[in-house]
A and B are shown apart, each in its own frame.
Chain A
Amino acid sequence: MSLESPFVLLALITLPLVLAWLGRRAPRIAMNWPSLRFLPELVEPTRERRGLAMPPLWVILTAGSIGSMVVAIARPLLDDDKEPAGITVLFDVTASMAWRDPAGRTRWRVALDRTLEELASEPRGRITWRTYPDLSTVAVTEGRADRTRLEALLTPRCAVAPAAVAWSTLQGERVLFVTDGAPTSLPADVAVRETAVGGGTNAGIVSAACDEDGTCWIVVHVAGDAPRDVWLADRAGTAFTERVRIEPGGFHTFQRASAELRAPVSLRTNGEDALALDDWVQEHASGPTSVRLAFGSTVLERVLASLSGFRTALEGEDADVVVTRGAVAHQYARAEVRLEAGDGEFAPGSLLAQDVPDRETFSRLEPLPLAVRSVHREGARVLFSARMEDGRVVPVIVIEENTLLVGISLDSLEAHRQRYHVPLLFALSLAVLRERLVQPGFPRMPVADGGGCQNLLALAETDQVWSSATSTALREVRSENASSPRGSERPWLIAALILWLLGPCLRLLRARPRPSAS
């Protein structure tokens, strides 16, 4: 059993004790008596000589009121058997945690270091490691944690913060929430203690594209509450764009020759940010857009229908392929800057596709039903493809025109309940490291094998494709139920409660005359 408010309980227990002490009855009056022969059976034990003068009704009312107050305020929790003792570390493993700081350290590694530092000051106890947003328990450690093992378990994943988190599963736990941004779905009654917060401004690349003429556009956005100077640089930090001051909420498009972008793009800024870009995207996602399906798919339509604000439309009626497995495109935001219409390649990478393998090469690739097969600018539409089990690569989804894709969420249809977050930023690296395939009808299609966000994250780990001065915010979230020390850590509190409630009852029973005496 644990208590939500042990100090309130202590006060409740102390108050009646003081009242009872003040209400003690006077010591027994000693007096001579000719003979005690008529009173032998009514003798009371001497040890109760200075007992409390409490009438039975008073005892009952006191015990009842104390019990009621304990239940109402101290709230004893009876789920100790289910809840582990110690502290729960809720570690954010969304994709944004994979981003790098100017020093080249990924955000989640910095966060893990700081978490372990904080835990070192905690009293020894069991540490339950949970991941956010799925809240699943990945490890339970005692004492000093194995950092290598934790690194393997807490690697960022293709996950975004869902609209609703099952916070109720954390009831009664003392939670250290390690995240790079305040989750919007935190319940109102959850207290957040920020242990480290950076500035209130965030800057990042939200989109990039190149045309066949070798011109690339890189769209940069600044969110937060302060302007920021940003520029693009290569891995070595050599700037190849001018410094631009962007006001909060503003965009700027860097236009550079593709040759300059053969090296990984690095966005440099003069300040720190506190709000991860994907969180900003999550919060400021634009309203509904339409998704045009290249081919009819009952499953896919159902998945899309589950996403609020999406409309689906078939690209063509002559589709002869039924897609049973595919991908879902999710437009995060509507950018103010549009790419020019016309033929060309929308290549999510700093390098343009030049060595395009032929169709045969493409067909030899492993089936990657979740991979982004193609990003093609065709009438301001971006097409995705899926490779079928028979080897055919088919277009799946067409993003509505007049939108600038800043993020893609891919879903496995088998596990569509969890949306994978793939910032387009990571796709830039695909063109750098992976071969690019061009299929007839889908020219200059960069291909990433391994599929999905996981591979993109792995690439992000090894390649500095993103840079923003981002500090990691460690937040300790204590739900109301978990704000107090656990009952198991304060057994004397529970013992005091039990004794206090039992004492008057025992006294009441002892004060009752024995039947034999009468």
Chain B
Amino acid sequence: MRRFPPSFLERVQHLSAAWVPPGMALPGGLPRRGIGEGLVFEDHREYTAGDDPRSIDWNATARLGEPFVKRTRREEGRRLGIVVDATASMNFGTPNKLDAAIRLAAAMGLLAVRSGARVNVVRLGGNGPRSSNLDRWAQARAFLEGLDAIEADAPRRPVVDTLRSAFPASHARRAVILLTDAYELEEWLHGLESLCASGHRPVLWQVFAPEEIHPPLEGALQLVDAEGGETRDLSWNDATRNVYQHRLEQFLETLERTCARHRIPWQAHVTDRDELLELQRFLRRTREVP
């Protein structure tokens, strides 16, 4: 698997052990509230003071002679959706934006499974498996192989259509993590609002290549739009660079402002940083700030 180093799974496990104890927030800020409040049987444990008497399993208590309570989980609250933008604009940069997004999706999915959630990864645009599910840790390798097969490509469906199709309002509410560069700003904002309207809790992880933050350009250039194929001639100089930086900042401010208005967590990730470390910092921050 070209996108995943051999130690990837091991690092995820280590991260899971350190940062995903019971009660910790899932990636995306979704609190783990399911155990004890759901309908799905999990296991038994001895009754302790303070337990809800309604949770006592009287049959087990009669068989074992001591009071035992049933542990259940809330099934609908333990689903995580991940959307990976595999459009052509993501196939850029060193390290590659799509590679970084897929590694992030894999890590998030594995961490979610370790915390008891079921994960569904949806590809937006590009080629390869349209959807990859992960219910148990044992499926981790197959899950990573499915993600590794995703390739970027230009043609794609509109963002809103893809999101509505993958996460309809009839489904149980879940956290949906969007890994994208969100250059089609209006479409993505519309998609975020659509997810919110459906009762889901979107999280935006915006992926940038370092070249997009500080373009290493100089002189006379002909830039080709990765998705539309449109060509633009320009001379890259200080004035061009200043305008670029200014517009990029405006773009990010717009996204941040919109996400704050809808209470959507927003995280910017630059691909020259280690994905797992970035994820670790995110988990630390979300735990410290419930």
Residues on A facing B (Cβ under 8 Å): 25-46, 48-49, 511, 513, 517-518
What is the total of A-B residue contacts with beta carbons within 8 Å?
A: 93
Q: Distance (Å) between the CB of A23 and the closest chain B CB?
A: 14
Query: What distance in Å separates the Cβ of A33 from its nearest Cβ neighbour in chain B?
Result: 4
Which residues of B lie under 8 Å from residue A30 when comparing CB positions? 221-224, 231
B225 surroundings in chain A (CB, below 8 A) = 32-33, 35-36
| Distance between Cα atoms of A513 and B240 in the complex (Å) | 9
Number of interface residues of B (CB under 8 A): 33
**B240 to chain A: which residues have CB within 8 Å?**
39, 42, 513
Give the residues in chain B near A36, CB-CB below 8 Å. 223, 225, 230, 232
Residues of A within 8 Å of B223, CB to CB, are 30-33, 36, 39
Determine whether the beta carbon of B232 is less than 8 Å from that of A43: yes
Interface 9-mer from B4-12, B124-132, B241-249:
B241-249
10 pairs, CB–CB < 8 Å, chain A vs chain B: A28-B221, A29-B220, A32-B92, A32-B223, A34-B181, A38-B251, A39-B243, A42-B240, A46-B233, A518-B242
**Does the CB pair B89–A34 fall under 8 Å?**
yes
Assembled-state Cα–Cα distance A39/B223 (Å):
10
Which of A28, A511, A518 counts the most B-chain CB atoms under 10 A from its CB?
A28
Q: A517 contacts which chain B residues (CB < 8 A)?
A: 239, 243
Given the complex, which residues of A lie within 8 Å of B251, measured CB to CB?
Answer: 37-38
Instruction: Tell me, in angstroms, the Cα distance from A469 to B265 when the chains sit together.
Output: 117
Report whether A39 and B232 are in contact in the complex, using a CB–CB cutoff of 8 Å: yes
Residues of chain B within 8 A of A42, CB atoms compared: 234, 239-240, 243
Task: Please tell me if B183 contacts chain A, counting CB pairs below 8 Å.
Answer: yes
Please tell me if B235 contacts chain A, counting CB pairs below 8 Å. Answer: yes
Q: Which residues of A contact B247 (CB under 8 A)?
A: 37-39
- CB nearest neighbor in B for A50: B220
* List of A residues within 8 angstroms of B221 by Cβ: 28-31
Q: How far is the CB of A59 from chain B (nearest CB, A)?
A: 15
The 9 nearest A-B residue pairs measured at CB:
A34-B89, A38-B247, A35-B183, A513-B239, A28-B222, A33-B223, A28-B220, A30-B222, A34-B92
**Chain A, Cβ-Cβ closest to B239:** A513
Chain A contact surface mostly: loop
Partner of A25, one of B219, B234, B237, B248: B219
Flag if B243 contacts A44 (CB, 8 Å).
no
Shortest CB distance B109–A (Å): 25
* Contact status A25-B220, CB under 8 Å: yes
Q: Cβ of A33 and Cβ of B224 under 8 Å apart?
A: yes
With an 8 A cutoff between CB atoms, is B226 at the interface?
Answer: yes
Q: How far is the CB of A39 from chain B (nearest CB, A)?
A: 6
**Chain B, residue nearest A26 (CB):** B220
* Chain B residues with CB under 8 A of A38: 243-244, 247-248, 251
Instruction: Encode contact with A along B60-101: 1 for CB under 8 Å, 0 otherwise.
Output: 000000000000000000000000000001101100010000
Contacts of B220 in A (CB 8 A): 25-29, 49
Q: Name the A residues within 8 Å of B187 (CB-CB).
A: none
Establish whether residues B239 and A518, one from each chain, have CB atoms under 8 Å apart when the complex forms.
yes
* CB-based contact A44/B235 at 8 Å: yes
Q: Cβ of A35 and Cβ of B234 under 8 Å apart? A: no
CA of A45 to CA of B237, assembled, Å: 16
Complex-state Cα separation, A27 to B232, whole angstroms:
14
Cα distance A89–B102 in the bound complex, in angstroms: 93
Q: Are B243's CB and A34's CB within 8 A?
A: no
Q: Which of B89, B231, B233, B237 contacts A35 (CB 8 A)?
A: B89
CA A518 – CA B222 in complex, angstroms? 20
**Alpha-carbon distance A25/B242, docked complex (angstroms):** 24
Judged by a CB distance under 8 angstroms, whether B253 is at the interface is no
What is the CB-to-nearest-CB distance from B271 to chain A, in angstroms, rounded to a whole number? 12
Alpha-carbon distance between A29 and B223 when the two chains are bound, in angstroms = 8
> Which chain B residue shows the least CB distance to A49?
B233
User: Which residues from B are CB-within-8-Å of A48?
Assistant: 233
CB distance from B112 to the nearest CB of A (A): 29
The answer for the CA separation of A109 and B219 in the assembled complex, in Å, is 74
CB distance from B254 to the nearest CB of A (A): 12
- Residue in B89, B223, B230, B242 with the greatest tally of chain A CB atoms within 10 Å: B223
Instruction: Look across to chain A and name the residue whose beta carbon is closest to the beta carbon of B245.
Output: A38
- Nearest chain A CB to B14 CB, angstrom units: 33
